[in-house]
Amino acid sequence: MIPHEMTSSTFEVPGFRVTRGLGIVKGIVVRSRSVFGTIGASLQTMVGGDITLFTNLCERTREDAYTRMLGHAAELGADAVVGVRYDATEVMQGVTEVLCYGTAVKLDKP
């Protein structure tokens, strides 16, 4: 697996030179809210503030998409992933797709 420090939202990894691009890699997760989670979140909205049930769900979903992207990059033999981005789309009410993507690259020390 590619270490977290070998990913970047920029198109370089400090201390390394990109020698070859291996193509776009991605991780996709589609999640729905449970009925119990929705009820719990509805109760939290009455109090105000951070809706932790949704915050935790979103964080877990993004982390899962990121991990899947790193697995895809490792399958290609990448040393790093640059240009990392996230995108989210509501597929239907209560169902959201989270996509994490970037460019898998090979690196050299300059």
Alpha carbon of 5 to those of 2, 31, 79, 93: distances in Å?
Answer: 8, 27, 11, 35
- The more confidently predicted of residues 93 and 37 is 93
Contact by Cβ (8 Å): 28, 95: no
* pLDDT score at 42: 59
Domains of the chain: 4-108 (3.30.110.70)
* pLDDT score at 57: 84
Instruction: Note the pLDDT tens digit of each residue in 53-96.
Output: 778 888 999 999 999 999 999 999 999 999 999 999 988 887 88
Instruction: Note the pLDDT tens digit of each residue in 94-109.
Output: 788 999 999 999 999 8
| Burial of 27 (C-beta count, 10 Å sphere; 0-12/13-18/19+) | buried
**10: phi then psi, degrees, rounded to nearest 5:** -90, -175
